[in-house]
Amino acid sequence: MTDSPPVASARPSWLARWEAYWFIEVPPHSVAALRIVFGAMALVSVAGLTPIDAFWSLDGLSPLPSNPNGPRSWLIDHGLAVWAGRAYFAYSAAAAAAMLVGYRSDLAVLATFLGLSLQTHWNRLPLSSAHQVVLVVLFCLIWTETGRVWSLDARRRSPPDQGNEGVAIWPLRLIRYQVALIYFSTALWKLLHPAWRDGSAVYWALNLNTFHRFPWTLPVAAEPIVAVLAWGTLLFELCFPALVWFRRTRTPTLILGLGLHLGLWLTLEIGPFSWVMIASYIAFLDPHRVARFGGRGAGLHRIEQPSASAAAAGH
């Protein structure tokens, strides 16, 4: 998972390779793009968790307090179940919005992460894997400066920040490892169950009345295609970490993943999961290309260019 072009050189020590691999500086545009997109995802998720009184109020669709002396019990006992929920909703929405627009970006990312973390304890009932993906990505973003470009913070600076200074790549790499782990882990879970091994899992999923997007029965003639899709999905997820590692296979892998998640979104109502996974692919894009895409390529000369040792750490 490197973004450095191969350069012929003497073989550096493992320490130099390690340092180059994790600490090389890259343009800040990738982490800024992740902040924007995941801020939007967090905002959309908060909006999905409405009506407020159902999912945020402690007397809504929320587990009963297990500890009679805990904070949730205290809020309920003092008649604050509804207002605390509304305040928490407002906090979550404001934090996600601040992250989206890049207002006090670093604080906004931390605040959104804390808000989402707390939600697991406040009301875990409506939370899906999408929530978990946002959480693990935000955890990595906490450690970098996401507001250097494409943010209100950058505009407020005088002179405005053009993103000429780089950021360390390691938070971005952590996201890559985390996303690869998601695919690998889900494939392992799937291997366990006969429905994935016999190729019927996608068939069953498409027929679920709480998930199917279209209320039509799958034609019998289409069933073999569905079987191939099941095996294909399983193999794709199992091989994702390896395929995305190498530069040559990375782009086709991401395109396949895009197809997989768009297909999921088109056929199943699974909340924001598909979009969250697609958004996480930003971490796999070459940060220099993302910066050029943002029209800031001219200002990148001050960022450390990939060194020979960095290149050697890659493939």
Partner 1 sequence: MTRPRWIVSAFIVWHLTCVVIAALPTDTWQPRETPATPVWVAFAGPFNALTRMMDGLTWAVTAPIVDFRRALDKAVGTPAGWYVGMTGLAQSWAMFSNPPQYDRYWRVRYYIEAPGGRPWMATELIGPSHREDQVRLFQSYRDSYRDKAFEIAFDGFVKRRKASAIEPGARPEDLPDDLAPIGRYFARHFAARLRDGERIIRTEIWVGTVANKKPGEPVDAAVAIERRAALLGYTEGPVEERLSVRPYPPYHGLETEGDIEWLLEYYEQS
Report 103-162 residues binding partner 1 (CB under 8 A).
113, 116-117, 120, 124-129, 132, 135-136, 139
Helix spans in 28-148 (H): 29-48, 52-55, 71-77, 81-101, 105-122, 129-141
Q: Which is nearer to partner 1, 60 or 297 (CB)?
A: 60
Q: Which is nearer to partner 1, 212 or 289 (CB)?
A: 212
Of 85-93, 150-158, 186-194, 287-295, the window that binds partner 1 (rule: CB under 8 A) is 186-194
CB 201, CB 226: distance < 8 Å: no
- Binders of partner 1 among residues 255 to 314 (CB under 8 A) are 269-273
- Rounded CA-CA distance 297/20 in Å is 22
- Binders of partner 1 among residues 20 to 49 (CB under 8 A) are 22-23, 48-49
Q: Which is nearer to partner 1, 102 or 257 (CB)?
A: 257
- Rounded CA-CA distance 216/3 in Å is 45
Q: Which is nearer to partner 1, 135 or 300 (CB)?
A: 135
Q: Which is nearer to partner 1, 119 or 146 (CB)?
A: 119
The 46-85 site mask, x for binding partner 1 (CB under 8 A), equals --xxx---xx---xxxxxx---------------------
Whether the bond into 287 is cis, omega within 30 of 0:
no
Torsion of CA 212, 213, 217, 223, to 10 degrees: -70
210 lies in the binding site for partner 1 (CB under 8 A): yes
CB 89, CB 119: distance < 8 Å: no
Tell me which residue has tokens 């197809």: 259
**How many chain residues interact with partner 1 (CB under 8 A)?**
79
Closest CA to 303 of 20, 24, 30: 24
- Kindly state the smallest distance separating residue 121's Cβ from partner 1, in Å: 9
CA atoms within 13 A on the CB side of 157: 16
- Rounded CA-CA distance 279/258 in Å is 10
Of 28-36, 91-99, 200-208, 246-254, the window that binds partner 1 (rule: CB under 8 A) is 200-208
- Binders of partner 1 among residues 231 to 260 (CB under 8 A) are 231, 234, 238
- Kindly state the smallest distance separating residue 132's Cβ from partner 1, in Å: 5
